[in-house]
């Protein structure tokens, strides 16, 4: 069943569409014909990504959802500059991405905080790596922690924090250098459902106050639809984009939004895409 | 950074400790001499050496002597030949093999033991009365490589047995484990040296020695050896050391109690463990005099350390018969008596008198 | 703090009971003091060893051997371990020989060391260092291998240089396993020194054991063994304390176990 792509104005009063100015600009990130192959130990070639085409606009929130092996993490790693494409174009502002960039912040599924440093030192890590020890920078770090509700935890150590709090620190760290692009690889995957929901709301709050381009990978279809302007649905073997869906649900979104019919339709549609995948898989 | 600080701390300790090792007491203007003693622990059986050091006889000759216990006669001979020490006291086993093959460039210059310290001993209630009755039996030795094994084999061979076929040798170590092995009759007899047997006796294990043919008993044993280069280039040193040790022997014979106490003061771990001090001293004197009894022989008269060519020839032949030496070697390659006269040139009476007037109470 | 106190009292109680049983058994079965001395005779000898001052030169010598050998062996293990972990060429060339060296039983090669390094403390220090070297080497290599892949990615994503990744991530991360190796080495150090002394020494607690055994002073031997245990425990405790201080972020129950 094809989803209707018409915008349904439900909460028109709170609608905050992507600004017209943004739509008019050329895409900030251009991915065209992206392929990623690698050889396994037995010498076989695995196609992690094939023919990936995607344009991402500035300040857009892109959710990426798909089953294991669909290449979503590989895609993110290439965007982060941690890996190189086998062929194809991956550009940011017209320049090919070939390595880690200062205007990119990354958040991983595990908080990856350094356990021997305090929370504040952890947040300051990106600055320390560039030998930036200025007071201004420290103030920014403290500000970020306050912004995420962790003001009193600056001198604590990661092992004294819960999983959710650690992940919040990790987000602060990613935001340290005021990145234009935020890459998030299932950042809330290791958290329990309730923490996850509050982290989703937290993330949307942060994004609404400090707009940036976000690419957010998740296993959870509702989470993808709740957070994203668009949802990129990927499928495996070989890794590719099956469909890109506009989430025509108004902002700000809340947990109540998840109970609305439109929300449900979009989620069902995505599920069908997956259903079709598994049908084809079993048919083979 | 954490690790750097810790690492730095570690690196700081090391040189401090190594320096503490390296910077040791250095004697003032005395020439250093290292003397190797073929035992694990220096005890009262070696009082002449210890007395010579503690009473300043070495220093009086102008030498700062260090006594080093090296565990065995073979070690002693090898280390002296290798230049790791100037003088060694050693039983002639490995030394003769080395001299004969040319591998060790050493020679004996002073005799210490004029008879063999080894005995084959059995439990007091054992039915075995002679060496020949050991046929088919087990003999305990300190270790397979010890000189005792060589002599044990020689003794039974002299009694007409085949040491390879008729006797089984079992290494039982020394000290408590040896005593236990003997008591529990793992073995029928044991081959040990005089001091070890004495120590067994003090522990309540009084073993009975089997008679040994006199020509074996009177073979020369431990002597002092040095490299042939030293004999050629530094005879003064060898004479001086020999003289100091001779004086140490005189002192010990004149006042055994004092000699034993002096030794125990320098090596407290060698002290007899008998809680009664008087009995302990008696035990020490017994060990001391049993050993020093063989430091002399009617054959040598007043000249301490004389090396009797005929006896050393017999020793060489004995080793050839025992197949320890592949072939005989000339006696003048093994021993040299060139220093004996000079060594014995000193006022013996003064040493003896000094010993007899020693105040024992100062030595505890 | 009732829990730890209760545990301590329990341990002491067990020790007291064992000693009482030991003493009783010796008397009742009239066991020869050469085979198994009574605890009372051992304690008497222990007291005497200290009050007569006999133990000090030997205790001092063994302590120097243990500490110097430990420091030397650990530093060598740290240096070689770091080089092997970080320089692939080095690993290929050197590691197989180090393994071969380790498989030589120290008891067998100790006599060689005595011949090469003499009867003084040096030979014992070398043996001890050799004994400590391998556990530390292995733990350093394991430590560097255990760096979390995600954290490596994270450092790379934030633009860290190789050197920054080494000092800020790989080294602190390796400390957990390194300290495990140091703990093992601390205990082995005592064994190494004593093995060396057994083979050839003029002074030291191992030498004292040999000598007292020759003089049939078995209570004395036991007393020296008690002192040796104390040294081993102290070394181990020192390492545990250092670990607690320097790798504070690992809770005890989560500490990895090295076999």
Residue A20: its pLDDT value, please? 47
CB pairs under 8 A between A and C: 54
Q: Which chains touch C (3 or more CB pairs under 8 A)?
A: A, B
- Nearest by CB to residue C150, choosing from A101, A112, A125, is A112
Residue B177: its pLDDT value, please? 84
Q: Retrieve residue A208's tokens.
A: 């609404």
- Nearest by CB to residue C52, choosing from B79, B179, B268, is B268
Taking any CB pair shorter than 8 Å as contact, residues of chain A touching chain C are: 77, 80-82, 100-102, 104, 106, 108-110, 112, 114-116, 125-126, 128-130, 157-159
Residue A28: its pLDDT value, please? 86
Judge whether C27 is closer than 8 Å to chain A, CB to CB: no
- Nearest by CB to residue A110, choosing from C150, C169, C251, is C150
Residue B139: its pLDDT value, please? 92
Q: Please identify every stretch of chain A with a pLDDT value under 50, giving residue numbers as ranges.
A: 1-21, 283-284
Residue A16: its pLDDT value, please? 41
Are residues C183 and C239 in contact, defined by beta-carbon separation less than 8 angstroms? yes
Q: What is the pLDDT of residues C14-33, one digit of tens each?
A: 999 999 999 999 888 888 88
| C246 interaction partners in chain B (CB closer than 8 Å) | 2, 6
| C158 interaction partners in chain A (CB closer than 8 Å) | 100, 106, 125-126, 129
Are residues B267 and B41 in contact, defined by beta-carbon separation less than 8 angstroms? yes
Round to whole Å and give the CA distance between C239 and C190: 14
Q: In chain C, which residue's Cα lies nearest the Cα of A109?
A: C150
Average pLDDT over residues B59-80: 90
Nearest to C43 by CA among C74, C15, C73: C15
Residue A25: its pLDDT value, please? 61
Residue B259 phi/psi, 5-degree rounding, is -60, -45
Average pLDDT, rounded, for chain C: 89
**Cβ neighbours of residue A161 under 8 Å, at least 6 residues apart?**
A119, A153, A169
Q: Which residues of B308-318 are buried (b: 16+ CB within 10 A; e: fewer)?
A: beebbbbbbeb
Residue B236: its pLDDT value, please? 94
Residue B64: its pLDDT value, please? 95
| C169 interaction partners in chain A (CB closer than 8 Å) | 114
Residue A267: its pLDDT value, please? 92
Q: What is the pLDDT of residues C90-117, one digit of tens each?
A: 888 988 998 898 888 888 888 888 878 8
Closest CA–CA distance from residue C110 to any residue of chain B (Å): 14
Reported for C249-255, long-range contacts at CB under 8 A and 24+ positions apart, including other chains, are C249/A115, C249/A116, C249/A157, C249/A158, C249/A159, C250/A115, C250/C176, C251/A159, C255/C176, C255/C180
| C242 interaction partners in chain B (CB closer than 8 Å) | 6
Query: Does the pLDDT value for residue B322 go beyond 80?
Result: no
Residue C255: its pLDDT value, please? 41
Which DSSP letter does residue B115 get?
A: S
Best of C157, C164, C169, C245 to disrupt the A interface by mutation (most A CBs within 10 Å)? C157
Burial class (CB in 10 A: 0-12, 13-18, 19+), A139: exposed
pLDDT band at B57 (very low <50, low <70, confident <90, very high): very high
The dihedral built from the CA positions of residue B74, B80, B84 and B87, taken in this order, carries a sign that is positive
Best of B50, B175, B196 to disrupt the C interface by mutation (most C CBs within 10 Å)? B175
Tell me the CB-side half-sphere exposure of residue C196, using CA atoms within 13 A: 33
Q: Retrieve residue C54's tokens.
A: 């006999």
Query: With an 8 Å Cβ cutoff, are B14 and C71 in contact?
Result: yes
Compare A81 and C34 and report the one with higher pLDDT.
A81
Residue B60: its pLDDT value, please? 94
Interface pTM, i.e. ipTM? 0.79
| C157 interaction partners in chain A (CB closer than 8 Å) | 80-82, 100, 104, 106
Distances (CA, A) of C54 to A144, B266, B351, C100: 66, 10, 30, 41
Residue C107: its pLDDT value, please? 82
Q: Which of residues 6-25 of B touch C (CB under 8 A)?
A: 6-7, 10-11, 13-14, 17-18, 20-21
| C125 interaction partners in chain B (CB closer than 8 Å) | 21
Average pLDDT over residues C154-179: 92
Q: What is the pLDDT of residues B3-54, one digit of tens each?
A: 455 555 655 565 555 554 444 444 457 899 999 998 888 999 999 999 999 9
Query: With an 8 Å Cβ cutoff, are B177 and C213 in contact?
Result: yes
Closest CA–CA distance from residue B43 to any residue of chain C (Å): 10
Question: Lowest-confidence range among A2-6, A147-151, B293-297, C174-178?
Answer: A2-6
Radius of gyration of chain C measured on its C-alpha atoms = 22
Q: Retrieve residue B311's tokens.
A: 């006896």
pTM over 0.80, yes/no: no
Compare C226 and A43 and report the one with higher pLDDT.
C226
Query: With an 8 Å Cβ cutoff, are B177 and C215 in contact?
Result: no
Query: With an 8 Å Cβ cutoff, are C153 and A108 in contact?
Result: yes
Query: With an 8 Å Cβ cutoff, are B10 and C54 in contact?
Result: no
Q: What is the pLDDT of residues B245-276, one digit of tens each?
A: 999 999 999 999 999 999 999 998 888 888 88
Residue B153: its pLDDT value, please? 84
């Amino acid at each position: 069943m094809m989803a209707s792509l018409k915008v349904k104005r439900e909460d028109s009063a709170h609608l905050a569409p992507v600004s017209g100015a943004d739509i008019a600009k050329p895409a900030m990130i251009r991915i065209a014909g992206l392929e990623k192959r690698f050889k396994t130990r037995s010498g076989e070639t695995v196609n992690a990504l094939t023919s990936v085409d995607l344009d991402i606009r500035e300040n857009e929130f892109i959710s990426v959802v798909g089953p294991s092996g669909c290449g979503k993490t590989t895609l993110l790693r290439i965007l982060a500059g941690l890996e190189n494409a086998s062929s194809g174009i991956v550009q940011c502002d017209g320049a090919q991405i070939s390595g880690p960039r200062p205007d990119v912040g990354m958040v991983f599924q595990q908080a990856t905080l350094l356990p021997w440093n305090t929370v504040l030192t952890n947040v300051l890590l990106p600055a320390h790596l560039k030998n930036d020890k200025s007071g201004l920078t420290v103030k920014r770090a403290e500000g970020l922690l306050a912004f995420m509700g962790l003001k009193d935890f600056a001198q604590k150590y990661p092992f004294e924090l819960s999983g959710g709090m650690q992940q919040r620190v990790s987000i602060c760290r990613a935001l340290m250098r005021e990145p234009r692009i935020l890459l998030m690889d299932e950042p809330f995957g290791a958290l329990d459902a309730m923490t996850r929901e509050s982290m989703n709301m937290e993330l949307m709050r942060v994004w609404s106050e400090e707009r940036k381009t976000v690419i957010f990978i998740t296993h959870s279809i509702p989470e993808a639809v709740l957070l994203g302007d668009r949802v990129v649905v990927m499928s495996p073997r070989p890794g590719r984009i099956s469909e890109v869906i506009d989430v025509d649900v108004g902002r700000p979104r809340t947990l109540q939004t998840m109970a609305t019919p439109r929300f449900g339709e979009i989620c069902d549609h995505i599920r069908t895409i997956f259903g079709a995948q598994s049908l084809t898989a079993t048919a083979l | 950074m954490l690790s750097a600080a810790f690492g730095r701390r570690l690196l700081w300790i090391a040189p401090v400790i190594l320096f503490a090792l390296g910077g040791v007491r250095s004697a003032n203007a005395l020439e250093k001499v290292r003397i190797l003693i073929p035992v694990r622990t220096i005890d009262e059986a070696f009082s002449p050496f210890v007395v010579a050091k503690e009473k300043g006889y070495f220093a009086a000759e102008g030498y700062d002597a260090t006594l080093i216990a090296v565990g065995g006669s073979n070690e002693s001979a090898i280390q002296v030949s290798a230049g790791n020490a100037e003088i060694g006291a050693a039983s002639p086993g490995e030394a003769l093999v080395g001299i004969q093959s040319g591998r060790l460039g050493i020679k004996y210059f002073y005799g210490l033991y004029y008879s063999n310290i080894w005995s084959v001993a059995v439990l007091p209630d054992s039915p075995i009365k002679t060496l020949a009755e050991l046929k088919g039996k087990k003999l305990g030795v300190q270790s397979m490589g010890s000189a005792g094994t060589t002599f044990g084999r020689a003794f039974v061979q002299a009694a007409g047995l085949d040491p390879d076929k008729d006797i089984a040798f079992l290494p039982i170590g020394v000290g408590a484990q040896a005593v236990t092995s003997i008591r529990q009759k793992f073995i029928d007899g044991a081959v040990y040296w005089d001091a070890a047997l004495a120590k067994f006796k003090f522990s309540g294990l009084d073993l009975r020695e089997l008679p040994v043919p006199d020509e074996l008993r009177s073979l020369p044993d431990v002597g002092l050896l040095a490299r042939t280069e030293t004999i050629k280039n530094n005879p003064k040193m060898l004479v001086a050391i020999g003289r100091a040790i001779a004086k140490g022997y005189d002192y010990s014979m004149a006042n055994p109690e004092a000699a034993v106490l002096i030794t125990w003061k320098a090596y407290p771990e060698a002290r007899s463990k008998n809680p009664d001090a008087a009995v302990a001293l008696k035990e020490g004197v017994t060990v001391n005099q049993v050993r020093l009894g063989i430091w002399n022989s009617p054959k040598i008269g007043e000249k301490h350390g004389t090396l009797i060519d005929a006896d050393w020839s017999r020793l060489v032949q004995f080793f050839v018969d025992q197949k320890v030496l592949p072939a005989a070697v000339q006696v003048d390659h093994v021993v040299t008596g060139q220093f004996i006269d000079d060594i014995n040139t000193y006022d013996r009476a003064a040493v003896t008198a000094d010993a007899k007037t020693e105040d024992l109470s100062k030595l505890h | 703090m009732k829990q730890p106190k209760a545990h301590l009292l329990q341990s002491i109680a067990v020790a007291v009971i064992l000693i009482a049983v030991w003493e009783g058994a010796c008397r009742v079965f009239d066991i020869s003091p050469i085979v198994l001395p009574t605890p009372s005779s051992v304690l008497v000898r222990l007291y005497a060893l200290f009050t007569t001052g006999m133990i000090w030169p030997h205790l001092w010598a063994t302590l120097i051997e243990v500490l110097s050998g430990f420091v030397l062996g650990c530093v060598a293990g740290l240096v070689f371990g770091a080089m092997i972990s970080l320089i692939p060429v080095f690993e290929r060339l050197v590691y197989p020989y180090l393994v071969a060296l380790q498989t030589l039983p120290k008891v067998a090669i100790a006599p060689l060391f005595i011949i090469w390094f003499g009867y003084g403390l040096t030979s014992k220090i070398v043996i001890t260092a050799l004994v400590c070297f391998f556990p530390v080497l292995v733990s350093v290599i394991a430590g560097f291998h255990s760096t979390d892949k995600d954290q490596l990615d994270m450092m790379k994503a934030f633009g860290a240089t190789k050197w920054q990744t080494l000092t800020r991530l790989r080294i602190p991360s390796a400390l957990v396993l390194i300290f495990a190796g140091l703990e093992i080495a601390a205990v082995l150090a005592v064994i190494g020194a004593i093995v060396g002394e057994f083979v050839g020494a003029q002074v030291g607690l191992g030498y004292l054991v040999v000598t007292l055994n020759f003089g049939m002073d078995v209570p004395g031997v036991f007393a020296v063994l008690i002192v040796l245990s104390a040294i081993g425990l102290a070394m181990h405790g020192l390492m545990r304390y250092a670990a607690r201080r320097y790798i504070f972020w690992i809770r005890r129950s989560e500490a990895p176990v090295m076999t």
